[in-house]
Structure 1
Amino acid sequence: MVQRIGSAAFATAERVLVIMGYAQVISGMVTYTGICRDSYINGCLAHLIKGGIFWCYGLFTFARFLGSFSELGWAWNRSPRMEHIPTAEFVESFLIFTYGITNTWMERFGAQPGDPFSTKQIQHISIAVMFWFAGLIGMGIESKTIRNWLATPSANLATENDKDLTLPASYRASFNPFPALVIGVTGLAMAAHAQVYLFQVQIHILWGQLLAGAALLRCLTYFFLWLSPPSSVLPSRPPTEALASFFLACGGLMFQLSTEEINLAAMRRGHDDKMMFLNFAVAVTCFVFCWVLAVVTFKAWLKVREGKKSELRSAPAVTA
């Protein structure tokens, strides 16, 4: 048990290093450019951190599409292990819940005690509360205990040998729509977010639509998997998830680029062109996806190589 916990902690720490490295790059850019100062700090932090979350979410989803975490059943495949491993949708719901329950209170940063709630604060707090409770619902749906409880009334009416007690094929996969619902509603809401300048509105519409598109593609994934649930331990690689991951990552990057100081700087220099911003985000996303593909492929090659070495070491020696 201790060894398993240690291995899980080490594997988690290894993957968190990627996120920490990205955070360090963003911090370096902020320090170098001198943004996020004075009255801009709260809005700047909100855009960079929240956009970074969607960016990393997109990279994580693309890695799942490539086959990462297939040993946990997170690559839209049947888990090869029989242990009680949480589903990827449970992890997504937990992160959404954590995001919401913390961000609910952060929206009042900078406000004085007794200050009335502004329209923008109510908008953002409402979204955070949606994350909070939708995440709770998502975790509840993924709980096998709760699902067994909900199935008890019908199960009690069947006899022990009743073939109706056979688990349906849909039980082989998770079809939890709440993570997609949260992302989609967030995208649609932020696409309608009022801004001071038209260019800011246009940028918000772009990344809002990208997030909404990612949610729609995730729903299509569930639709096709519902028709034919995964029956193999090998990654199924639904093409809708390749597109959804790209929309998530690109939307997250556009979210970061919608920071007020960046938009104002672009307007002052005559670069307030939404196509330029979108093309830049698409290009960077494609470049980083190539990096993810290279890293995942290299890891897979190392595993194959290590497997061959293990076979050679375990093979009996041939005597003359």
Structure 2
Amino acid sequence: MALLRQASLWTLFLLVALAFAHGGHENIPQGEPISQDPIDSTLWTHMILMGLAFGIIFPTGMVLGITRSRWHVPVQIVGTVIAVLAYFLGHAHKGRQFDKNLHASFANWLMLMLVAQVVLGAYLKLHLVKAGQARIRWIFVLAHGVLGKIMPVVSWAQMLFGGIAALGFCRDDHLGQCLAHFIMGSAFIAYGICLTILLLVGQYWLRRTGRSQEFFDSLIIAAWGCVNTFTEHRWGQPWVHNDLQHTTMGIVWWCAGLLGMWLSRSRSGRPKRNLIPALVILMTGYAMSAHPQTLMISTMIHSIFGYTLMAAGLVRIIEISFVLKDKPALSEPNSFQYLTPFLLFASGFLFMGATEEQMLLLHNAGITHVAYVLILYSIAFLLFLFVNILLHIYAVHAWPNSDSTNQDGPMYSNLNGNANGRARSNSQQIQDAEAFELHGLISDEDEEGPSMGPRKNSDEELGKVEGRH
């Protein structure tokens, strides 16, 4: 009950924060999105703390929750405290003031999601079983898990909204190209994250689906192409060269996507690799590298973005054809395989950083495209590092290293061999992965133990699986 009281106090505190938060940002020049005042230290602190909480702490806590680590709750509590403090700071700053914007409006919804997470987490921690609550517990487990996995995506959008609001960008005639750049850039980064997940921890799931990776890639490409075909041109308005280029690119995407899905199965119905998604990426990079721009710096940034995307497609072709030789990767990834997802990360940041207003700001400041590209690549390196760290945390707990001395290291020792050094078959590896995932669903936080980390695969369920080997 003490835990429930603490959760109630936290909820009340957050609701009060939402109710009494105020802007006081009325001194904006007529027709302008922001005032000409500089950003003060309070607002900088707000940005840093929110980025720390929603960009690093909560995603880390999410992975710890998936692995059922005892550090999940403490990490999420620290993130919640920092987020609430930063929320108040966002309404207490001086200096630059802002007109009504999407970042300010969406902040309340984001904090309400945080309130829901706190309440659900506290309820699940109580392990209530009376009055039929044990039968409906799975609903709260599902809701808590879904909200937790949505939070990083929503937080990413909110951080983008924050950067846009801070500079007063993406209004009036600039809104359309802003949406195109930020949505498409985020999509490339999301694609890179998905490739990294499949590369490091998702091969067993992929094997169970009975589909090749290119089937899912082609499916998404076809769906995205349909959207681009009918949204890149304002129907009823005159056609311009950019409209025609974007629309035809959408047509190529859904045509190629349909072909990629067809080629993803062999004549006997088995999963089969193909190069269509990689070819689409390469063609998209070529098209974007020749995209006409007004400013020279914008032309250079778009060109480097296109070259980076072309490199991602070319590397993918080499990986499938020559590194893997059309076979799925079920062991430790080859170092060459990391190139494609990283280049997609870099492509995403380059495209998001190439809007008209950003390019004009850099042009007026005298910043060269070389310095800007190096900064964006540095950010891509850091995000790629963070994603790999999160996947490493998951992998070492999904397949814990006991007393194996496999030279591949703890992350892959239980994937490639057992403690006696004997190679394990793919079916055995898949059963181990299934056992871990089912165990997470069956015993999600229902057992208490003295360990300070996630429980190892020594439970009765996993023992039965090992007994079948």
Given the two structures, how large is their TM-score scaled by the length of structure 1? 0.76
Q: Which residue type is aligned with residue 456 of structure 2?
A: G
Equivalence map 1:112-261=2 (5 Å): 113=236, 115-143=237-265, 147-148=267-268, 174-225=272-323, 227=325, 229-230=327-328, 234-261=330-357
Cα offset for 1:255? 0.5
Cα offset for 1:197? 1.4
Q: Which residue type is aligned with residue 36 of structure 1?
A: C
Q: Deviations over 1:212-232 (max 9, x none)?
A: 0000000001112554735x7
Q: Does 1:310 align with 2:443?
A: no
Contact preservation (8 Å) 1:47, 1:258: yes
Number of residue pairs the alignment of both structures matches: 271
Contact preservation (8 Å) 2:284, 2:310: yes
Q: Which residue type is aligned with residue 72 of structure 1?
A: W
Contact preservation (8 Å) 2:273, 2:326: no
Q: Please, which of 158, 163, 178 is the counterpart of residue 24 of structure 1?
A: 158
What is the aligned partner in structure 2 of residue 72 from structure 1?
Answer: 205
**Of 187-196 and 237-246, the range deviating more from structure 2:** 237-246
Aligned counterparts of 1:208 and 1:143: Cα–Cα separation in 2? 30
Contact preservation (8 Å) 1:89, 1:176: yes
**Structure 1 residues 53, 312: closer, same or farther in 2, change over 3 A?**
closer
Aligned counterparts of 1:228 and 1:121: Cα–Cα separation in 2? 37
Cα offset for 1:10? 9.2
Q: Deviations over 1:255-295 (max 9, x none)?
A: 11111110001111112x11112111111111111211221
CA RMSD, 1 decimal: 2.9
Contact preservation (8 Å) 1:54, 1:251: yes
Cα offset for 1:64? 2.7
Structure 2: where are the runs of 5+ without partners? 1-140, 401-453, 465-469
Q: Please, which of 103, 124, 142 is the counterpart of residue 228 of structure 2?
A: 103
Cα offset for 1:174? 3.3
Contact preservation (8 Å) 2:201, 2:395: no
The secondary structure found in structure 1 opposite 2:455 is: helix
What is the aligned partner in structure 2 of residue 296 from structure 1?
Answer: 391
Aligned counterparts of 2:361 and 2:309: Cα–Cα separation in 1? 25
Aligned counterparts of 2:272 and 2:323: Cα–Cα separation in 1? 9
Aligned counterparts of 2:190 and 2:326: Cα–Cα separation in 1? 29
The secondary structure found in structure 1 opposite 2:313 is: helix
Q: Which residue type is aligned with residue 247 of structure 1?
A: L
**Structure 1 residues 262, 133: closer, same or farther in 2, change over 3 A?**
same
The secondary structure found in structure 2 opposite 1:306 is: coil
Cα offset for 1:105? 1.1
Aligned counterparts of 1:312 and 1:139: Cα–Cα separation in 2? 37
**Structure 1 residues 308, 267: closer, same or farther in 2, change over 3 A?**
same
Structure 1: where are the runs of 5+ without partners? 1-6, 74-78, 150-170, 316-320
**Structure 1 residues 10, 213: closer, same or farther in 2, change over 3 A?**
farther
Q: Percent identity?
A: 27
Cα offset for 1:46? 0.4
Q: Does 1:37 align with 2:197?
A: no
The secondary structure found in structure 1 opposite 2:456 is: helix
Aligned counterparts of 2:281 and 2:304: Cα–Cα separation in 1? 14
Q: Does 1:90 align with 2:215?
A: yes
**Structure 1 residues 127, 14: closer, same or farther in 2, change over 3 A?**
farther
Q: Which residue type is aligned with residue 181 of structure 1?
A: L
Cα offset for 1:239? 2.6
Q: Deviations over 1:16-59 (max 9, x none)?
A: 54333322221222222221001100011100110110111122
Aligned counterparts of 1:125 and 1:8: Cα–Cα separation in 2? 39
Contact preservation (8 Å) 1:61, 1:241: no
Aligned counterparts of 1:227 and 1:251: Cα–Cα separation in 2? 26
Contact preservation (8 Å) 1:62, 1:241: no
Cα offset for 1:308? 3.5
Q: Which residue type is aligned with residue 195 of structure 1?
A: Q
Considering Cα pairs closer than 8 Å and 6+ residues apart, tell me whether 1 or 2 has the greater RCO.
1
Aligned counterparts of 2:145 and 2:268: Cα–Cα separation in 1? 31
Q: Which residue type is aligned with residue 203 of structure 2?
A: S
Q: Which residue type is aligned with residue 321 of structure 2?
A: F
Given the two structures, how large is their TM-score scaled by the length of structure 2? 0.53
**Structure 1 residues 177, 11: closer, same or farther in 2, change over 3 A?**
farther
Contact preservation (8 Å) 1:218, 1:240: no
**Structure 1 residues 88, 133: closer, same or farther in 2, change over 3 A?**
same
What is the aligned partner in structure 2 of residue 274 from structure 1?
Answer: 369
**Structure 1 residues 311, 226: closer, same or farther in 2, change over 3 A?**
same
Q: Which structure has the larger Rg?
A: 2
